[in-house]
Structure 1
Amino acid sequence: MAGMNEQDPRALVMQHRELQKRAEMIQQQITMVKISVDDCTKVLKTIEELVNIEEGTEMMFPIGSGSFVYANIGRVDRIVVDIGSGVSVERPLKDAQEIMEKRKAELEKAYENMNASMAQVSQQMQAIEAVVSRQQQEQQAQGQGQVPR
């Protein structure tokens, strides 16, 4: 942000607004990725629990909005997993677990990158705020110096 001190305050305000919009967009993405990471965590915990469940066991499964349905577990040795682009495949528990662990690791890396981007944008916003504040103080000081005593 070299040369920022010489910039027009209006240009700095515009840059700040753009950075603010970018920060809001990044924050929305961070929220969505965090939800996906949490979802992967739930799936991995469920897969771990399936090892202890016998076929034919009656369980409650979520169907949305805090509602559940009772169902009997027909098979516990395979899971249908979304592998992307709307494609789902049936995989053994171990393979499904590996797919979900890989997905979770990728999401966590994206989460970290987005947080780093957010920190960078915040830093840029703070730099602009400091320059604008300094410019305002200088203008006030000049204005006070011109007032007759």
Structure 2
Amino acid sequence: MSSEKEIQEKIATLQILQEEAEALQRRIVEMEILENEYRKTLETLEFFESIENDVEALMNLGGGVFAYVDVKNSKKMLVDIGSGVVVEREVGEAIEFIKKRIKRIEENQEKMTSMLQQILAQVQKIQQEIAAKQQE
């Protein structure tokens, strides 16, 4: 195989790997955003667990509009368990559910970060190979 053809193939492989790396980086950022959202939810649930009486809260209606609402039963929560299925849970159960989701996200982030590091190592290796071929 000619040196020029090898270089072209390596460049094509390099571009594919770079696109995969960018996609993984975007997914990792999305997961960080989701994890932050779950952590805020966890804080709120822990607040509800700590209070004894009814509480007044602000409810986000969207578009920067909020409404004052009275939370009559702060010990029961409606939890989306997936596929749009919502079930009533005690606040402690909701906390455990959210903690499990956070743990899964962290595990997935670790896997994706490891995959990203492997891809970046391949990218670096191919870049070095291309540079060496161009020196010939």
Larger radius of gyration: 1
Alpha-carbon distance, 1:55 to partner: 3.9
Q: Work out the CA distance in 1 between the residues paired with 2:121 and 2:63.
A: 39
Matches within 5 A, 1:65-144: 65-138=63-136
CA contact (8 A) 2:45 2:95 kept: yes
One-letter identity of the residue aligned with 1:99 = F
- 1-structure distance, mates of 2:55, 2:75: 14
SS at match of 2:50: coil
Q: Which runs of 5+ in 2 are unaligned?
A: none
Alignment check: 8 A CA contact 1:60 1:71 kept: yes
- Which range moves more in the overlay, 48-57 or 73-82? 48-57
Relative distance call for 1:66 and 1:12 in structure 2 (3 A) is same
3-state SS of 1:8 partner: helix
What is the rounded CA distance, in whole Å, between the counterparts of 1:95 and 1:56 in structure 2?
19
Could you tell me whether the CA contact under 8 Å between 1:55 and 1:73 is conserved in 2? no
Deviations along 1:38-58, one digit per CA (max 9) or x if unpaired, are 111111100111123354322
Q: Percent identity?
A: 32
Which residue type is aligned with residue 30 of structure 1? Answer: I
Per-residue CA distance 1:102-127 (angstroms, 9 max, x = gap)? 11100110011111111111110010
Q: Which deviates more, 34-43 or 53-62?
A: 53-62
Show structure 1 runs of 5+ residues with no match: 139-149
Deviation per residue, 1:53-100 (Å, 9 max, x gap): 354322112233443221111111111111111111110011111111
Residue of structure 2 aligned with 1:18, choices 16, 19, 22: 16
RMSD: 1.7
User: Would you say the 8 A contact 2:58–2:68 is kept in 1?
Assistant: yes
2:43 aligned partner: 45
Report the TM-score when normalising by structure 1.
Answer: 0.82
How many positions carry a matched residue from both structures? 133
Mapped contact 2:58–2:69 kept (Cα < 8 A)? yes
